[in-house]
Amino acid sequence: MRLITCLLLAIISPMMVALANVDLQVLSPSALIEQNLDRGYTVHEDVVKKNQVLSSMLSDCSVDYPRIHKLVESSKDIFNIRTMKAGRPYTVLCDAESGDARLLLYEHNPIDWVVFSVEENDISTKVFQKPVEIVEREAAGIITTSLSATMSELGINYELTDRLSEVYAWSIDFWRIQYGDRFRVIYEEKLVDGKSVGIAGVKAASFRHYDGDFYAFRYATPEDTLGMSYFDEKGGSMQKQFLRAPVKYSRISSRYSRRRFHPVQKRWKAHLGTDYAAPKGTPIYATADGIITEARFKRANGNYVKIRHNGTYSTQYLHMTKIKKGIRSGVKVRQGQVIGFVGSTGLATGPHVCYRFWKNGKQVDALKQKFPATKPIDQQYYPDFMGYKDQLMERLESVPYPGSEFEGDEVDEMEVLERLEEQESDAKLSSSFPANPGNWGLILAAIV
């Protein structure tokens, strides 16, 4: 933490009056902090506590309330102090002689730092960003339990799971992927100080699901004002009229049925929707563009939202813990926009969203509907896209799957288990590598 503080001080010193006395020619970060100590600064390092306020963060040094109030007011258009996160580190520099605070340095995330000057004659706030390096990487994996678990086993930043789910949001339900499904991906990773801090984007991907291959290639035309879009190997748009599900990483707890035993009413009745179980507060997304027709509370539905998408389709989202602010009748919403949050209001036994789907005024099973893709790539750009796609596809096909030392691309599960047993016997690591299918992804990654 102290080394990071030193580096930041070296960067911001020319810009902050409070550091006017710092020797900018000092090249060593550790020497720089020692110099500050020699010149009468004391350094107080800590992390933000839950519900902690700014005044308590400065409690190790002397700062009167008028200065804190002035700092809060002056920073409103630069950084919202209320967005400070519990667990994030901060450093306070104080004058050793007077005990007066000089600077508060707060790390909002791995990229953004906020520097508050609390000098009597310099109350100010500045936000700085560390340099971010974008590195292109390739990866491949074989699903054993879930996509996120496989990413973790391969040591890949968890954000890639989110990005792939967004790319395939219209074509793959990631709660229905099965053992043996596999993926290859070319992606861009964000690095700060050599460490991964996120995923910048997915350049190309292939996903084998239920013996079908789903390809996605990022491409933008000169007229594409909305940014890059994703297309399949034939130039068709990956985006469909409706998302596969209104929530991410949920599981289907109850399907559309003409006869289901109601867990609250304790009787058999039709269940004309699909229930997605998810933790309370999970965002709920509009599955397509449309206009809100209802956003209110009813005894059975709880808090709910209904959207009319066009003359044919409407959708409804029930049992929300709360409806998102601004969502009301007559408001236009876009596909993927948050409209509320998962809850258990109304006739519900646990947190979930009941997703209901109307076609021509009749409730139907959303999972059985077939939706056309949006506009494919323009013909004038088709040759360029196909050439670009062929290059990326060749790269994708060359990325080896974990365990590809086995014959072909297929992995013999018995051979994997035999290898596992040998490792357990030789290294006596049975507690770390129990022989169960849930750890096959780890083993497949380890034995390459």
Q: Are 78 and 126 in contact (CB under 8 A)?
A: yes
290: which residues sit within 8 A by CB, 6+ positions away? 307, 308, 309, 310, 314, 315, 332, 333
pLDDT of residue 38: 55
Task: Pinpoint the residues of the chain covered by CATH 2.70.70.10.
Answer: 251-368
Q: What is each CA distance from 420 to 140, 144, 146, 432, in whole angstroms?
A: 21, 15, 20, 11
pLDDT digits (tens, 9 = 90+) for 321-347: 999 999 999 999 988 899 999 999 998
59: which residues sit within 8 A by CB, 6+ positions away? none
Task: Pinpoint the residues of the chain covered by CATH 3.10.450.350.
Answer: 2-129, 133-231
Per CATH, is 2-129 categorized as 1.10.8.60? no
Encoding tokens for residue 352? 């979930």
pLDDT tier for residue 263 given thresholds of 50, 70 and 90:
low
Angle among Cα 418, 421, 425 to the nearest 5 degrees reads 140
Report the chain's mean pLDDT, rounded to a whole number. 79
- Tell me what the mean pLDDT of segment 301-325 comes to: 93
pLDDT tier for residue 173 given thresholds of 50, 70 and 90:
confident
Which SS3 state, helix, strand or coil, does residue 295 take? strand
Higher pLDDT, 34 or 378: 378
Lowest mean pLDDT among 130-139, 150-159, 172-181, 296-305: 172-181
pLDDT of residue 225: 56
Lowest mean pLDDT among 134-143, 339-348, 384-393, 419-428: 419-428
Rounded Cα gap, residues 352 and 279, in angstroms: 7
28 by Cβ neighbours in 10 Å (0-12 / 13-18 / 19+) ranks as exposed
pLDDT of residue 331: 94
pLDDT digits (tens, 9 = 90+) for 433-448: 333 333 334 333 333 3
User: Which residue is associated with the tokens 């000057």?
Assistant: 117
pLDDT of residue 264: 55
pLDDT of residue 440: 34
Rounded Cα gap, residues 108 and 113, in angstroms: 6
pLDDT tier for residue 378 given thresholds of 50, 70 and 90:
confident
Phi (first) and psi of residue 428, to 5 degrees: 50, 50
Return the CATH number of 133-231, one of 3.40.50.2000, 3.30.1330.40, 3.90.1300.10, 3.10.450.350.
3.10.450.350
pLDDT digits (tens, 9 = 90+) for 54-113: 888 887 777 888 888 888 888 888 998 888 999 998 888 888 778 888 888 888 988 888
Return the CATH number of 251-368, one of 3.30.465.10, 3.40.30.10, 1.20.120.420, 2.70.70.10.
2.70.70.10
User: Which residue is associated with the tokens 């599960």?
Assistant: 413
306: which residues sit within 8 A by CB, 6+ positions away? 292, 293, 294, 295, 314, 315, 316, 317
User: Which residue is associated with the tokens 């990326």?
Assistant: 392
pLDDT digits (tens, 9 = 90+) for 114-142: 888 888 788 888 888 888 999 999 999 99
pLDDT of residue 409: 47
Rounded Cα gap, residues 351 and 345, in angstroms: 8
Secondary structure percentages of the chain, helix, strand, coil, to 5: 25, 35, 40
- Tell me what the mean pLDDT of segment 220-236 comes to: 80
CA nearest to 274, candidates 299, 256, 294: 256
Angle among Cα 144, 230, 396 to the nearest 5 degrees reads 50
Rounded Cα gap, residues 208 and 214, in angstroms: 6
pLDDT of residue 254: 81
Q: Are 355 and 274 in contact (CB under 8 A)?
A: yes
